[in-house]
């Protein structure tokens, strides 16, 4: 990965929410660089602000301080250069699979025939042939998330932001979707920033794992995963890395729990 | 296979049962009506009781009402505007349609705006809360003076349809799942596109509820709106005129027509709703 250009550059990022009882500091001095084609996982205890980081990069959330650049340009608003996949799938229930995937192209006023070319290729890529004209309610959770991934890819974004995309799937589907995502990722050559709270998922997917601290969130440690793909979840190397990440994370879990117990 | 035939038969029987129940409720109603009319006239089976002809006038036999209904399509009964019933129906339908169209093109954009923008809601809310509880009929005298006999009744019906649509669209626009708007934004959609491609489709079922409720209230208003006078007749006008000239069978015939028309328009709205949901991929 070395030598590739930096696509996402986050420096001294901070975020404070104003609540009824004062300010809540969600992020403090968070910094990260992601290179082109890289798969980076954000991992941390719940409430550490990992989703907030992703939403700020997506332009869905404002920041209180610091800088977020995508391809050298400061992020100001949401845009089609940053595709996003949500845990809740967020498909438009009144649109068919094809029409969901073509949403971004419609917004850009791409002619119908070109739109169909793109959606046909993507439907093939995510393995949904035969479901082109199905509506979301007819699909299983895993299939819905395939549509959401295809929809995000249709805009040919520079980066793919994924917010616990497999969090609501059952264990079997989840493993399958992780495998599928890696296949799609290697075919599409996107830069991926992926939020999860599952250590195993992070070790299975990522080139690098960013372990975040408990609130206020900042980078605790970045752990490289130098394993070749496909990865074997039961191999000694896999388990060694998993234990290391888990160790880091557990300390933060303890801190998070202590924080919850103490007033304020 | 056996369980399939069994459940099919069960479904058939329960459908049939419901049909029988519905028919029975209408039959009971007509029987009570008949007994009441017969009692007031001391007809069979009440031979021998003292008849009360003055009250009996108000309650004709229901078959006489049906006969009057048939008659009003082919003759001009005295003092009912010199029009066939079909012409009265057309006049009322025209009023409902104009009022409905006006309510739709004003209430939908306003509802979307007030549902999505807090400032727009702050602007509109006080006025809505102030005017909504006022029965449209309270406006009848003023509206007939201000809007005259063509637009006056339409304006009253408009008020009846406007508020249910406005409030339902507002509710729908407010309950759009925020994650859908986030998704649209990350796909490159801006405010205007989000309104057209996310907020409006999401709101459609709410709009249909508003339309169904609004049409019902619209029919309630039209009778009263036409009573004080209207250009070119109308079923409400017909009821009022028949009542004034003590032709109670014709009056009831007009009431039956209103009921049927209301059921028909609500039914059409329901059909459009079902078709729309299927088209939009909702159940």
Closest CA to A210 of A44, A35, A20: A44
Of B16, B31, B59, the residue at which a domain comes to its end is B59
- Same structural domain, A172 and A248: yes
Burial string for B75-94 (b: 16+ CB within 10 Å, else e) reads: eebeebbebbbebbbbbbbe
Q: What's the total number of domains in chain B?
A: 2
How far, rounded to the nearest angstrom, does the alpha carbon of residue A23 sit from its chain's CA centroid? 27
Closest CA to B169 of B222, B85, B108, B230: B108
- The CATH number of whichever domain residue A30 belongs to comes to 3.40.50.300
Chain A residue with CA closest to B185: the answer is: A78
Of B22, B39, B59, the residue at which a domain comes to its end is B59
- Same structural domain, A66 and A181: yes
- Same structural domain, B54 and B69: no
Q: Is residue B189's pLDDT more than 80? A: yes
Whole-model pTM?
A: 0.83
Chain B residue with CA closest to A55: the answer is: B182
Of B9, B40, B59, the residue at which a domain comes to its end is B59
Q: How many C-beta atoms lie closer than 10 Å to residue B132's C-beta? A: 13
Q: Is residue B282's pLDDT more than 70? A: no
Question: CB of B188 within 8 Å of any CB in chain A?
Answer: yes
Question: CB of B93 within 8 Å of any CB in chain A?
Answer: no
Query: pLDDT band at residue A45, thresholds of 50, 70 and 90?
Result: confident
- Same structural domain, B143 and B222: yes
> What is the structure's pLDDT at B148?
86
- Mean pLDDT over residues A226-247, rounded? 95
Is position A129 within any domain?
Answer: yes
- Same structural domain, B129 and B52: no
Question: CB of A152 within 8 Å of any CB in chain B?
Answer: yes
pLDDT tens by residue, B43-56: 989 998 899 888 88
Cα first-last separation, chain A = 43
Is position A188 within any domain?
Answer: yes
- Same structural domain, A13 and A74: yes
Query: pLDDT band at residue B2, thresholds of 50, 70 and 90?
Result: low
- Mean pLDDT over residues A10-17, rounded? 94
CB contact residues (below 8 A), chain A span 31-60, against chain B: 58-60
- Same structural domain, B82 and B177: yes
* CA distance linking residue B85 with residue B74, whole number of Å: 8
> Residue holding tokens 């404070």?
A16
- The CATH number of whichever domain residue B196 belongs to comes to 1.10.3720.10
Query: pLDDT band at residue B278, thresholds of 50, 70 and 90?
Result: confident
Put simply, the answer to whether B186 touches A80 (Cβ < 8 Å) is yes
Query: pLDDT band at residue A3, thresholds of 50, 70 and 90?
Result: low
Is position A250 within any domain?
Answer: yes
- Same structural domain, A253 and A214: yes
Domain span at A167 = 6-81+162-261
User: B186, B208, B276: best mutation site toward chain A, by most A Cβ within 10 Å?
Assistant: B186
Q: Is residue A1's pLDDT more than 50? A: no
Of A156, A177, A199, the residue at which a domain comes to its end is A156
Per DSSP bridges, beta strands A208-212 and A191-196 are unpaired
pLDDT tens by residue, B116-161: 999 999 999 999 999 999 988 888 889 888 998 889 999 999 999 9
Query: pLDDT band at residue A263, thresholds of 50, 70 and 90?
Result: low
How close does chain B come to A80, measured CA to CA in Å?
Answer: 5
- Same structural domain, A62 and A166: yes
Question: CB of A83 within 8 Å of any CB in chain B?
Answer: yes
The sign one gets for the Cα dihedral A117, A120, A123, A126 is: negative
Question: CB of B187 within 8 Å of any CB in chain A?
Answer: yes
Question: CB of A104 within 8 Å of any CB in chain B?
Answer: yes
Is position A32 within any domain?
Answer: yes
Q: Is residue A2's pLDDT more than 60? A: no
Put simply, the answer to whether A92 touches B280 (Cβ < 8 Å) is no
DSSP A197: S
Q: Is residue B78's pLDDT more than 90? A: no
Question: Which position has the higher pLDDT, A57 or B76?
Answer: A57
- Same structural domain, A105 and A60: no
Round the average pLDDT of chain A to a whole number and report it. 92
Q: Is residue B230's pLDDT more than 70? A: no
Q: Is the peptide bond before B166 cis (omega within 30 degrees of 0)?
A: no
- Same structural domain, A135 and A240: no
- Same structural domain, A168 and A151: no
- Same structural domain, B9 and B109: no
How close does chain B come to A117, measured CA to CA in Å?
Answer: 18
> What is the structure's pLDDT at B254?
93
Put simply, the answer to whether B281 touches A79 (Cβ < 8 Å) is no
- Same structural domain, A72 and A171: yes
Write down the number of H helices and E strands in chain B: 11, 0
Put simply, the answer to whether B188 touches A136 (Cβ < 8 Å) is no
- Same structural domain, B234 and B177: yes
Query: pLDDT band at residue A262, thresholds of 50, 70 and 90?
Result: low
- Same structural domain, A144 and A178: no
Domain span at B121 = 60-280
- Same structural domain, B48 and B89: no
Question: CB of B135 within 8 Å of any CB in chain A?
Answer: no
Query: pLDDT band at residue A264, thresholds of 50, 70 and 90?
Result: very low
- Same structural domain, B67 and B42: no
A164: β partners: none
Contacting residues of B for A108, CB less than 8 Å apart? 188
Angle in degrees, 0-180, between the axes of helices B200-227 and B248-280, rounded to the nearest 10? 170
A68: β partners: A10
Q: What's the total number of domains in chain A?
A: 2
Burial string for B257-281 (b: 16+ CB within 10 Å, else e) reads: bbeebbeebbeebeeebeebeeebb
Is position A144 within any domain?
Answer: yes
A100-109, B8-17, B26-35, B104-113: least confidently modelled range: B8-17
Is position A1 within any domain?
Answer: no
- Mean pLDDT over residues A127-142, rounded? 95
Q: How many C-beta atoms lie closer than 10 Å to residue B148's C-beta? A: 13
- Same structural domain, B23 and B81: no
What does each C-alpha distance from A264 to A23, A25, A94, A258, A260 come to in angstroms? 11, 12, 44, 11, 8
- Same structural domain, B54 and B161: no
Question: CB of B283 within 8 Å of any CB in chain A?
Answer: yes
* CA distance linking residue B150 with residue B234, whole number of Å: 11
> What is the structure's pLDDT at B83?
86
């Amino acid at each position: 990965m070395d030598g590739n250009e930096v696509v996402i550059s986050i420096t001294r990022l901070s975020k404070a929410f104003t609540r009824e009882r004062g300010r809540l500091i969600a992020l403090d001095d968070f910094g990260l660089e992601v290179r082109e084609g890289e798969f980076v996982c954000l991992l941390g205890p719940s409430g550490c602000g990992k989703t907030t980081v992703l939403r700020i990069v997506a332009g869905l959330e404002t920041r209180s301080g610091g800088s977020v650049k995508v391809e050298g340009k400061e992020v100001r608003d949401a845009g089609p250069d940053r595709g996003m996949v949500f845990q809740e799938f967020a498909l438009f229930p009144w649109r068919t699979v094809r029409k969901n995937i073509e949403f971004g192209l419609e917004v850009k006023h791409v002619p119908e025939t070109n739109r169909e070319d793109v959606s046909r290729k993507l439907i093939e890529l995510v393995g949904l042939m035969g479901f082109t004209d199905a509506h979301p309610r007819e699909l299983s959770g895993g299939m819905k998330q395939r549509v959401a991934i295809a929809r995000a890819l249709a805009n040919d974004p520079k980066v793919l932001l994924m917010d616990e995309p497999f969090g609501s799937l059952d264990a079997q589907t989840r493993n399958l979707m992780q495998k599928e995502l890696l296949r799609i990722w290697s075919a599409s050559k996107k830069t991926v920033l992926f939020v999860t709270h599952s250590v195993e998922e992070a070790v299975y997917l990522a080139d690098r794992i960013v372990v975040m601290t408990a609130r206020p969130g900042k980078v605790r440690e970045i752990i490289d995963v130098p394993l070749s793909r496909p990865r074997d979840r039961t191999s000694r190397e896999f388990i060694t890395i998993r234990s290391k990440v888990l160790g880091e994370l557990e300390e933060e879990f303890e801190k998070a729990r202590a924080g919850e117990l103490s007033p304020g | 296979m056996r369980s399939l035939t069994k459940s099919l038969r069960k479904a058939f029987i329960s459908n049939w049962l419901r049909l029988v129940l519905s028919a029975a409720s209408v039959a009971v109603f007509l029987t009570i009506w008949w007994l009441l009319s017969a009692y007031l006239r001391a007809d069979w089976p009440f031979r021998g009781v003292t008849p009360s002809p003055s009250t009996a006038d108000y309650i004709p036999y229901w078959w006489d009402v049906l006969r009057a209904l048939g008659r009003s399509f082919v003759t001009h009964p005295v003092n009912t505007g010199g029009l066939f019933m079909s012409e009265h129906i057309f006049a009322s339908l025209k009023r409902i349609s104009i009022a409905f169209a006006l309510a739709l093109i004003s209430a939908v954009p306003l509802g979307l705006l007030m549902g999505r923008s807090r400032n727009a809601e702050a602007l509109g809310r006080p006025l809505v809360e102030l005017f909504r509880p006022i029965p449209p009929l309270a406006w009848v005298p003023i509206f007939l003076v201000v809007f005259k006999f063509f637009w006056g009744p339409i304006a009253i019906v408009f008020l009846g349809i406007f508020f249910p649509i406005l409030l339902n669209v507002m509710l729908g626009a407010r309950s759009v799942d925020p994650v859908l708007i986030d998704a649209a934004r990350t796909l490159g959609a801006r405010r205007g596109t989000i309104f057209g491609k996310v907020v409006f489709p999401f709101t459609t079922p709410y709009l249909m509820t508003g339309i169904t409720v609004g049409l019902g209230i619209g029919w309630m208003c039209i009778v009263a709106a036409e009573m004080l006078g209207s250009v070119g007749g109308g079923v409400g006008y017909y009821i009022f005129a028949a009542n004034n000239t003590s032709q109670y069978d014709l009056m009831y015939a007009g009431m039956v027509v209103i009921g049927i028309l209301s059921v028909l328009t609500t039914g059409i709205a329901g059909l459009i709703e079902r078709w729309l949901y299927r088209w939009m991929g909702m159940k």
